[in-house]
Amino acid sequence: MDESTAEASASVAASDSKPTCVIVLGMAGSGKTTFVQRLTAHLHAKGSPPYVINLDPAVSQVPYPANVDIRDTVKYKEVMKQYNLGPNGAIMTSLNLFATRFDQAMGLIEKRKDSCRFVILDTPGQIEVFTWSASGAIITETLASTYPTVVVYVMDCARSTNPVTFMSNMLYACSILYRTKLPFIVVLNKADIVKPTFALKWLSDFESFQEALEQQTSFMTDLTRSLSLVLDEFYGSLKCVAASAVTGEGMPEVLDAIAAGAEQYEKEYKPQYERLRHEHQSAKVAAQTSKLGEVSLKERPVGSSMQSRSEMLADERIHLGGVEAEDAEDERERVFGQAEDDEEDDTEADKASFQRFMEQMMGAKKS
C-alpha cells in the first residue's frame, strides 16, 4: 500500500468515526421538510437511523421523528407577543435564542455519535432567516468545527422551468456556497412532476440556456443572460442530484453525494476550520492575558513630593450622590483651595516682616 492510499484510508476511517452533519436548506415550498422526512425514512429502512434536529420554530407539526426540536425550547408565539414581532422577526429571534444553547445540542450529538452516522438539520422555510443571520452562522460553524458537514440545497424543479426562476435559484445556491464555505449539493426535487433533464442540460451547456432565454421577453432577460456568463464557472464544480421527496427516487444517489461531500470536507475544509478554531482560541487566550496585564499596583508618592490635600481628595473622590452632591463637593474644594492660598500668602508676609525687623536691628547695632 503506497503512501497516498494509506492517507486516503486514514481519512475515510476518521470520517467514519464521526457522524456527517447534513444541513438542509431550501426556499418555501421547495419540499425541504418532505425531503428530510424521505431521507430519514430511507436511512431507517437501511438500518442506520439518523439524529434529526428541527430548527423551524413556526411549523405546526413535522412528518419525521425529531430528536431535538426547537419548539421544545422556544415558544414561537410567545416570542411574537413578548417582543412585539412579526412572523419572520419572531423566527429569527427564536433561532437567536436557541443558538445561545446550541452547546447543549452539541453535547447530545456527542453522546449519540457512535450510534448515528448522520445528523440531519431541517431549517426554516424562510431561507434568508438561517443563511444570513448570526444564529445560522453560529450553528453552521459550530457543527463544521467538530463534525464533517455538508450543505444540501433543495430546489423546486417544477417552478424552475422558467430560465429567470432557474437563475434566481442558482444565485441563491452560489451565495449559500460562498457564505458557508462547505461542501455543497443541489437536490433537484420534485422529479416525479417534472424531470430535471432541462436543468442538468442548462448547467452543462451554456448555449442551450441562451436558447431558452431567447423565448423570454421580460426586462430580466438581459440581466439573466449576463449572470449566466458569470455563473458558468460556478456550475462546473456544482454537484446536482435529481430526486423526488414523495416517491423516494434518487435517495441512494443523494447519500452517495453526501458521502463524497464528507470526504471532500476531510481533505479541503477541515484544515481551514481547524485553523480558524485555533486562531479563535489563541485570540481568546491573548485577550485574557492582556486583561491580567492591566491589573497593577499604583504607588502614591510621599515626602517632599506629596500631593496637596485637595489633589488627594480629587483622586480619591467617587461621586455617588448625583449632580447636586458633585456641585457641593466642588464648592467645598474651591473654598478649601482658597483657604490654602490665603495661608500661603500669610506665610510669605510674615517672612518679609521678619526680614525687615532683622535689618533694622543690624543697622542699630552698627550705629
Of residues 137, 186, 193, the one with CA closest to residue 166: 186
- What's the domain count of the chain? 2
DSSP 29-89: TSSHHHHHHHHHHHHHHTT---EEEE--TT-S--SS--SEEGGGT--HHHHHHHHT--HHH
Q: Which residues of the chain have pLDDT under 70?
A: 1-16, 293-367
Domain ends where: 284, 301, 327?
284
Residues 6+ apart with CB under 8 A from 264: 183
Could you tell me if residue 299 is inside a domain?
no
Q: Is 139 helix (H, G, I), strand (E, B) or coil?
A: helix
Position 328 scores a pLDDT of: 59
Could you tell me if residue 295 is inside a domain?
no
Position 361 scores a pLDDT of: 62
Quickly list H helices, the chain: 3-16, 32-45, 76-83, 87-99, 102-112, 127-131, 134-144, 163-180, 197-204, 206-214, 220-236, 251-264, 270-294, 309-316, 322-366
| Same domain assignment for residues 244 and 159 | yes
Residue whose C-alpha cell reads 437567536 in the numeric block: 96
Could you tell me if residue 304 is inside a domain?
no
- Give yes or no for a contact between 284 and 155, defined as CB atoms under 8 angstroms apart: no
DSSP 182-228: S-EEEEEE-TTTS-THHHHHHHH-HHHHHHHHHT--STHHHHHHHHH
Of residues 131, 138, 139, 117, the one with CA closest to residue 18: 117
Residues 6+ apart with CB under 8 A from 170: 231, 234, 235
Q: What's the CATH number where 222 sits?
A: 3.40.50.300
Could you tell me if residue 293 is inside a domain?
no
pLDDT digits (tens, 9 = 90+) for 260-294: 999 999 988 888 777 777 787 888 888 888 777 66
Position 124 scores a pLDDT of: 92
Could you tell me if residue 49 is inside a domain?
yes
Position 32 scores a pLDDT of: 94
Could you tell me if residue 303 is inside a domain?
no
Position 273 scores a pLDDT of: 77
Structural domain of residue 135, as residue ranges?
A: 3-284
Backbone angles phi, psi at 245, to 5 degrees: -70, -20
| Same domain assignment for residues 268 and 314 | no
Could you tell me if residue 153 is inside a domain?
yes
| Same domain assignment for residues 158 and 64 | yes
Using alpha carbons only, give the angle 247, 19, 92 rounded to the nearest 5 degrees: 75
